[in-house]
Structure 1
């Protein structure tokens, strides 16, 4: 005889599910929102780790750059930097010689100026000597054109420096007296501008008759 369909007599040990798995009625699995959040966190976690790694690398690079700059500034300010630069300049000049220029010579190794450039003692009184010569030449009758020629001649020879001693040519004083050409130097010649000018006027008058002839000879030969 068949058993009547009575729900209260059903086996309660294996209850039938009331809906498909995964829905809100499924009490054996996590809710859908939690599962979605879990998947999202699993996807974001590697990206976050990479971003942190990149940030750490950037901070490390910045720190190394700042440290290197500080070291460079400190070394530059030390005497070691100046010593290094001087050493480089010395090596350049040893290879290239004096032609490397005055700016590359160090003070300790820069050669002394040749004595031939120091012709006078620095007390020439050039303007006074020129004025004295103009008065003495005028008294001798040499003015205007003659004076201009005399001014050009002695300006080139000595720049009106009565202390001139030129070791290259042997010229002395305002007039450029040269023992090799002009004989024995007159007494007191080297110390006295007046003696030098008087000798020069007499020599030009006797040898060339006028300052312009003496100047023309100088332009051709470089002597007179």
Structure 2
């Protein structure tokens, strides 16, 4: 008997709150907060009717792939070898630079600029894609090291230029 009375009282309270302005004010407040972050429901449809967004792409620019550590090791070995001899600070700059560009993912393509691979090769700026470049981390790293040396001298100089201009 007591349980039935408690359930009846709870149902009465819920019905009263739902019918009152409190629930409307609460729902309007939630909708306003959702709209502040450009969430669903800021147009013709209410936020509770919004469809689930599409699944994201498997990779996004700069998210890295499963072979990131292998690619970094290739890059570190190539940078430390002749003719570059880039270690310590220069390696730190190169790692930071290419991590920012592609997360060392040889298969990445920036949908905005068209830059490709670990080194951010952009055909619009750098010309035709070198032979064997697509999908080959070692080919990309070789081209990137050579380009950095010929154009900027060192990875730190290239990274500083990229940080100030967004290109290299």
**Any stretches of 5+ residues in structure 1 without a counterpart?**
1-61, 73-87
In structure 2, the residue matched to 1:154 is 98
TM-score in terms of structure 2 length: 0.68
Please give the residue correspondences for 1:8-157 in structure 2 after superposition, counting only pairs within 5 Å.
Answer: 65-66=5-6, 68-69=8-9, 92=31, 96=35, 99-100=38-39, 109-112=51-54, 115=57, 118-119=60-61, 123-140=65-82, 141-157=85-101
Provide the residue aligned with 2:149 in structure 1: 205
CA distance in 2, matches of 1:63, 1:152: 65
When normalised by structure 1's length, the TM-score is 0.53
Q: CA deviation at 1:128?
A: 1.0
RMSD over aligned CA atoms reads 3.8
Structure 1 residues 220 and 105 mapped into 2: Cα distance closer, same or farther (>3 Å)? same
- For structure 2, the residue ranges without an aligned partner over 5 or more in a row are 13-26, 41-45
Whether the 8 Å CA contact 2:108–2:117 is kept in 1: the answer is yes
Distance 2:125 2:57 in 1: 23
Higher RCO, 1 or 2 (CA under 8 Å, sep at least 6)?
Answer: 2
Q: Quick one: which of 142, 153, 171 aligns to 2:115?
A: 171
Runs of 4+ residues over 3 Å off in structure 1: 62-67, 69-72, 95-98, 104-108, 113-117, 119-124
- For residues 184-210 of structure 1, what are the alpha-carbon distances to aligned partners after superposition, in whole Å with 9 as ceiling and x for unaligned? 112221211111101101111111121
Structure number with bigger Rg = 1
The alpha-carbon deviation at position 148 of structure 1 amounts to 1.6
